[in-house]
Chain A
Amino acid sequence: MTTPAAYQVSHLDALEAESIFVMREVVAEMERPVMLFSGGKDSIVMLRLAQKAFAPANVPFPVMHVDTGHNFPEVLEYRDQRVAELGLQLVVASVPEALASGMVRESGDGMRNRIQTPVLLDAVEKHRFDALFGGARRDEEKARAKERVFSFRDEFGQWDPKNQRPELWSLYNGRHHPGESIRVFPLSNWTELDVWHYIAHERIPLPSIYYAHEREVIERDGMFYAVNEFFRPRAGEERFKAQVRYRTVGDASCTAAVRSDADTVEKVIEEVAATRITERGATRGDDRVSEAAMEDRKREGYF
């Protein structure tokens, strides 16, 4: 049988259909799902997919932002605007509040990546969330390349990479006991380039820092860090102005920018297609700690 060309499905349509299927499974089977929403491009795409999955009904779960207190103002503004537009309930798991209450203590290097985890887990427990959507992709990092779409977490929020449930066909096993939870990654099979193609195709607005702009930066370990209230140059580091954009958006104290003239989504796609360095490799100080830095954080309950 020859299939007419009309029944061809593009890779983006196939990825979209798979992600929507995953989200509907979660809402159908889990009691209290929540979507992690940072205002980063992956979570923005994920939120768009959620709108599509349940239309014409509203997105049937709240969104949660793990707020390290080290935010880019453009991203916070974007977050609040999206939440208001879509009439979503926003849960903020606040690291500054957890620091004030003594739940966590500032780490020696001032990075708040690791101390977000207890704050996240505390919010999960308080709200009794049993499913957390995260925007992580398998192409991002090698520990993530082996993570399931439905990733089981024990009552301590821990991931056990050697004890993962086999995941066959599109049959996702979300069963868990009270107190345990499932992290769900609807974008597992998307690459950075797929995300950008989708943003272009859907004309999804993004926080402005994803596009080229002039910013005062310093160079450290080959990465460009913006000088702001959370990031202070060390002695000898010279401030200069550069045309940059952010490939990832995370904690403002450890997320670096890349030199770029890409000020439109089309130019960003060209740039991403031509780049020879992974997005985390180019922009994340936190992954450079060791070969297994991500796996170690994930075991503790990091997203």
Chain B
Amino acid sequence: MSTEIMASANAEARAVTGAGPEARAMDLLRFATAGSVDDGKSTLIGRLLYDTKSLFTDQLAAVEAVSAARGDEYTNLALLTDGLRAEREQGITIDVAYRYFATPRRKFIIADTPGHIQYTRNMVTGASTADLALILVDARKGLVEQSRRHAFLCSLLRVPHLVLCVNKMDLVDWSQEVYERIADEFTAFAAKLDAPDLTVVPVSALRGDNIVTRSDNMPWYEGPSLLHHLERVHIASDRNLVDVRFPVQYVIRPQSTTVTDYRGYAGQVASGVLKPGDEVMVLPSGFTSRIAAVETADGPVAEAFPPMSVTVRLADEIDISRGDLICRPNNAPAVAQDIEAMVCWMDETAPLRVGGRYAIKHTTRSARAIVRGLHYRLDINSLHRDESADELRLNEIGRVRLRTTVPLLADEYRRNRTTGGFVIIDEATNRTVGAAMIVEAS
């Protein structure tokens, strides 16, 4: 995108952006983008940042200078966050880059991940915390292997909202037919993946059509602009407010003469709503008690829900420590040492093998685990299951059976992204080598 084009950004759009002093009322949307420079992803992100006044003149000037020095034909906005020396030298994005922008309605955190298959682990990382994923396709090329792979990874990580941007509409004469063919094909594919909410938007990132404001070039499109959708997509109900899950993170016991006999269980609510008076059960012990108070540093609260960080006090003195979990007696996670999980392997130095022993971290609980079986390795392009596989290498995904040294207090990942996910750590190198999503726990 050239500066000239960026400077032509819609004046009206600028007037509504930029967060004022009333910003306490905004909420937060985390979204992941995947793709390569060819798809126009950098241009799209550059456009969103620029049109929301989130791109600064010194950043732009620096990028322009570097682009010009390298002989790029256009200002390469990927240079904005391809901040590592190796990335700039090789002209590639290696890692997840986080970018931030805000409108009066929402603050946005973009986890911008490289799209190629050798960076699957980066995309999995970016998608793990995303409320929404944005997938780009080039209208001239239609769906390609990469688009299907991205959609699959988003469904695997249970990203609740998916947006397909059919980009470069200007290069197909703003054709409704081209758009609809791609939209239909993708919708059919997404249905097979059990993908949640899907929205398709025809855009030209370079020209700004349907990015911030509706395009005049595509009157046949009746949906919202991309930013309009990002600002309004309903994410509050994505949170699980039904199953009370409160992993105990830390026990607060002041050593003080003024505050005596205080014992509070600090943590972040994973799901559900906690209220004083509620009957609760503590796992793995199974003891029950009532919530005496839910506190924050600003005082007691009537209710706690995700993602609040609070301190819970119970009516009875029970032995509770980090790694325990507070839930309701009639709605508890599995207390399980045999775990079936989809695992994405992230280590380039050694593969996951049956018989391998690892450390794992699940909510606030640490354990060790042994790999008891590998059911299959998934070809993430064709979704074919290879049941003869005996290992998972870097970026490979498969279904694995593990036995843990202590019980995990676990839910299925599809029901709960916090109590259903864990990471696998190599005990010798201390590196995080795998991401796991629980399918079954018993």
Residues of A within 8 A of B (CB): 1-3, 6-18, 20-21, 24-25, 27-28, 51-58, 138-139, 141-146, 152, 161-162, 164-171, 173, 175-177, 188-189, 191, 193-194, 197, 200-201, 266, 269-270, 273-278, 281-282, 291-292, 295-296
Contact = CB atoms under 8 A, between A and B. Distances in A.
Q: Could you say which of B20, B253, B307 has the most chain A C-beta atoms within 10 Å of its C-beta?
A: B307
A278 B58 contact: yes
A24 B249 CA distance: 7
Nearest to B122: A166
Contact of B56 (A55, A165, A188, A278): A278
B71 interface: no
Contact of B239 (A3, A143, A165, A275): A3
Contacts of A18: 307, 309
Given A13-B308, A169-B128, A270-B21, A175 B27 contact: no
Interface stretch (B194-202, B219-227, B372-380, B417-425): B417-425
Given A21-B268, A292-B85, A11 B106 contact: yes
Given A21-B249, A277-B57, A52 B102 contact: no
29 contacts: A3-B237, A8-B236, A9-B27, A9-B307, A11-B23, A11-B27, A14-B307, A21-B249, A24-B267, A25-B364, A28-B322, A52-B297, A56-B252, A58-B256, A138-B98, A139-B99, A142-B81, A146-B97, A152-B430, A164-B95, A165-B431, A166-B346, A167-B125, A168-B128, A191-B102, A193-B23, A200-B21, A273-B20, A292-B83
B25 interface: yes
Contacts of B346: 166
B314 interface: no
Interface in B252-295: 252-256, 259, 262, 266-268, 273
B84 A138 contact: no
Contacts of A53: 266, 297, 309
Contacts of A201: 24
Contacts of A269: 20-21
Contacts of B107: 11, 191, 194
A11 B26 contact: yes
Interface string B1-39: 000000000000000001111011111100000000000
B364 A28 contact: yes
A295 B82 CA distance: 12
Nearest to B258: A56
B56 A276 contact: yes
A7 B62 contact: no
Interface string B64-87: 001000000000000011111110
Interface string B327-354: 0000000000000000000100000000
Report the interface size class on chain B. Answer: 35 or more
Contact of A14 (B28, B100, B273): B28
B88 interface: yes
B178 interface: no
A167 B95 CA distance: 11
Contact of B58 (A55, A168, A273, A281): A281
B322 A58 contact: no
B28 A274 contact: no
B249 A25 contact: yes
A57 B255 contact: yes
A74 B66 CA distance: 39
A200 B20 CA distance: 12
Given A164-B95, A171-B361, A295 B106 contact: no
Contacts of A8: 27, 236
A8 B305 CA distance: 9
Given A3-B241, A14-B27, A276-B57, A57 B253 contact: yes
A8 B253 CA distance: 30
Given A11-B106, A161-B84, A276-B57, A175 B21 contact: no
Contacts of B417: 169
Nearest to B360: A171
Contact of B237 (A1, A10, A15, A166): A1
The 7 closest A-B pairs by CB, nearest first: A142-B83, A281-B58, A52-B297, A57-B254, A175-B430, A55-B297, A11-B28
Nearest to B242: A1
Contacts of B150: none
Given A18-B307, A57-B256, A292-B85, A173 B237 contact: no
A17 B307 contact: yes
Contacts of A161: 84, 86, 95
Contacts of A275: 56
Contacts of B62: 291
Nearest to A17: B309
A15 B60 CA distance: 27
A169 B309 contact: no
B139 interface: no
Contacts of B311: 55
Contact of B252 (A54, A138, A167): A54
Contacts of B57: 276-277
B112 to A, nearest CB: 9
Given A139-B100, A145-B99, 13 more contacts: A11-B26, A24-B266, A143-B84, A166-B125, A169-B128, A173-B431, A188-B98, A193-B19, A193-B102, A197-B21, A277-B58, A291-B66, A292-B84
Nearest to B236: A3
Contacts of A146: 81, 83-84, 95-98
